[in-house]
Amino acid sequence: MEKFFATTSIRAIATALPQEKLDLLSLSSIYGEEIVRKIIKNTGISEIRFCPPLPENNQKTSADYCMESAKRIFSEGKITPDDIDAIIFVTEFPDHIVPHTSAIIQAKLGLPNRVIAFDINYGCAGYVYGIFQASLLIESGYCENVLLCVGDTPTKAISPQDKSLRMVFGDAGSATILSRCENVRRTAFSFYTDGGKANNLIIPAGAFRMPHQEGVTDILTFDKNGNGRTLENIFMDGMQIMEFVLKHVKNVVHNTLEMLNLPIDAIDLFAFHQANILILNYLAQRLKIPHQKVPFGAAKTGNTTCASIPLMLSTLYPGINPLLEKVLICGFGTGLSCASGVIDLSRTEIFEPVQI
């Protein structure tokens, strides 16, 4: 069975960042300058953006960064909240366990009450999954315009004692408008999931499988590399993630291209999840892609998980880019999972990131 989408266009992309910055070299007094410079060299990340801890009534969440992104698009007047038929919110850091954050966003943005509103709990591959799900709603004929909000605030769950993660992850949010349009370039997607390796990137405690237990889940422990965290903090086995990426991303990318009968050199841009520069260089090498087609835009933001692809696009490719007719987007990580798709961004209005 052919699995193509042929009536969905990506109309606009906008992103938002915290104003707060952390220069990683400022952590030299804590972790040692040699260690900090080594991490900066290996990751390509020298600065991160983080959502600061604030009093509860002033707290910002991933939803706030996504809503600010959506407002930026709506401010142009080419599409209004009343035009939206569905909202999808993709995050691993929602406002509440209950209710779904998309309902809260619907009210705050003034979207019609008739909209379809749901959340997707997803990390690094979340933007690709969101584009796929939004496309399904449009291709089904049920929706004309879908607002896709994708964002995360992983710094809220990282232990200050965990240098391996504190100097990698950042916070951001995005909004993407997808609309029904005839005679668009065909798009296709491929997926891979290995839930048996889920424990390699996980927050073990704090939900219902392992609820918070004082004196148990909140105890700080240190690993052999001197990284300290509790069971309520993010844990990541970087080597296992790297092994997963190098073993499976190549196949998922090739599967996507084969569905569209495209050679790898037909792709104008490879918009990979912005994990770090080392992983992107490895992928370029293994896939035999010119490095200029594999951009890295996270040097001053950090790995913003599911928001990293739209953030890279808005950082490096603002405006309308007629040459981006065939863009391969690919996310990989939490799950462990990988997803890729080939999309057309040649008529997409991409806005520069805003800071809040």
Q: Which two tokens stand for residue 113?
A: 């009450």
Distance (Å, whole) CA 226 – CA 78: 52
Largest CA distance in the chain: 60
Q: Which fold has domain 1-356?
A: Peroxisomal Thiolase; Chain A, domain 1 (3.40.47)
DSSP string, 179-230: EE-SSPPPBEEEEEE-GGGGGGEE--SSSSSS---TTTTT--EE-TTS-EE-
pLDDT < 50 regions, the chain: none
Q: pLDDT, tens digit, for every residue of 304-348?
A: 999 999 999 999 999 999 999 999 999 999 999 999 999 999 999
pTM above 0.85, yes or no: yes
Domain ranges of the chain: 1-356
